Chain A
Amino acid sequence: MTRQFKWDSGIGLLGLLLLFVGSYIGLFVAPSERYMGEVQRIMYVHVPCAWNAMLVYMLAFIFAIISLWTHRPKWDAATTAAAEVGIVLNSLLLVQGSIWARATWGVWWDWDVRLTTSLIMLLLFAGVLALRSFVHDASRRATWTAIATIVAFVDVPLVYFCVRWWRSLHQVQSTPDTVAPMMVVPLRINAFAILFIAIWMMTQRARLELDRRRQDQVSEPERLAPIGGSNNA
């Protein structure tokens, strides 16, 4: 138990440390962009949140398939944890993007294809957690969560590819060839930072879910017991 605690705490602390280093380089060392000036520095938190939100949703999708396949509680807990952490990162990327849009496009929001699909992605996974809260039977809850997660995941590739498939205000994905090396460094550091923090969060959330399920299993026979003891008499 102590060993497990050290493992995820270490990952979380490493993530935090990297986030400080990456943000420092992004804010004070990396050059400002030719047209967007200082505002472009939002990229060093916005893009890592976007990458990791999609990665975490993909993990939720994989965990959901394994959960359906095996019916083991740990995979249901992992699916729930990944969906919830994905929602946190998805919310952050929408807020950061909105701030960036206000500075560069002059509006807080536009019903652009990238922004709209990202909002739908958030609502779909929020729907997964809402659906989960309505089902009381643990086994049925796990099945519904897995199915809903698989359905919700359909939007994730759409978010990634929509800027290539349709006309969008949002720029297409950059590559290290199109970005200055000093801009790539903080971007990558923060990407790993958010990834490590997300892993820590998912581990904590999954553990909480498993503990809750264990408690439900213990209290279930008490709820089902007849009032006044045995009714065999």
Chain B
Amino acid sequence: MPDGVIIGGWNYVIAAYSITAAGLLAYAWSLALRRRKFRTQEEG
């Protein structure tokens, strides 16, 4: 195995993908919540 080769590293990959999914979901959720809040305000 030559020098400078990274062995393993799946934990970093999992962390990056999990944060991406969490970030996108959190923003989508915030949009839904804001929309719901707006509708409630409008009705009330």
A and B bound?
yes
Binding site for B on A (CB under 8 A): 23, 27, 34-39, 41-42, 45-46, 49, 85, 88, 91-92, 95-96, 99-100, 102-104, 197, 201, 204-205, 208, 211-212, 215
Assembly CA distance A27 to B10 (angstroms)? 10
Cβ–Cβ contact B42 & A88, under 8 A: no
Asked whether A201 and B12 contact (CB < 8 A) given A36-B6, A95-B19, the answer is: no
**Minimum C-beta distance from A185 to chain B (A):** 17
| Docked complex Cα distance between A88 and B12 (Å) | 20
**Are A96 and B20 in contact (CB-based, < 8 A)?**
yes
Please, which residue of chain B has its CB at the minimum distance from the CB of A205?
A: B31
Contact A99 B35 (CB under 8 A): no
A102, B41: Cα distance in complex, Å:
45
Query: Are B31 and A92 in contact, with the CB atoms below 8 A?
Result: no
A residues less than 8 Å from B4 (CB atoms): 35
- Alpha-carbon distance A59/B36, docked complex (angstroms): 27
A13 to chain B, nearest CB (A): 12
List 17 additional A-B contacts (Cβ < 8 Å) besides A92-B24, A102-B12, A204-B31: A27-B17, A35-B4, A38-B10, A38-B13, A39-B13, A42-B13, A42-B16, A45-B16, A45-B20, A46-B16, A88-B27, A92-B20, A95-B19, A96-B20, A99-B12, A204-B35, A211-B42
Bound state CA distance, A212 and B35, in angstroms?
10
Contacting B19 at CB < 8 Å: which of A27, A92, A103, A204? A92
**Which residue from chain B places its CB closest to the CB of A48 in the assembled complex?**
B20
| Cβ-defined contact, A23 with B12, below 8 A | no
Find the B residue at minimum CB distance from A194: B24
Measured between alpha carbons, how far is A11 from B4 in the docked complex, in Å?
A: 42
Shortest Cβ gap from B25 to chain A (Å): 10
Q: A88-B27, A201-B31, A205-B31 are in contact. Are A35 and B6 (CB under 8 A)?
A: yes
Q: Is the CB of A208 within 8 A of B12?
A: no
Whether the pair A100, B16 counts as a contact (CB closer than 8 A) is: yes
Contact in complex: B6, A197 (CB < 8 Å) = no
Beta-carbon contacts of B1-41 to A below 8 Å, as 1s and 0s?
00011111110110111011001100110010011001001
Please tell me if the beta carbons of B38 and A37 are within 8 angstroms of each other in the complex.
no
Query: In the bound complex, what is the Cα–Cα distance between A91 and B4 (angstroms)?
Result: 29
Whether A104 touches B6, Cβ cut-off 8 Å, given contacts A42-B12, A197-B24, is yes
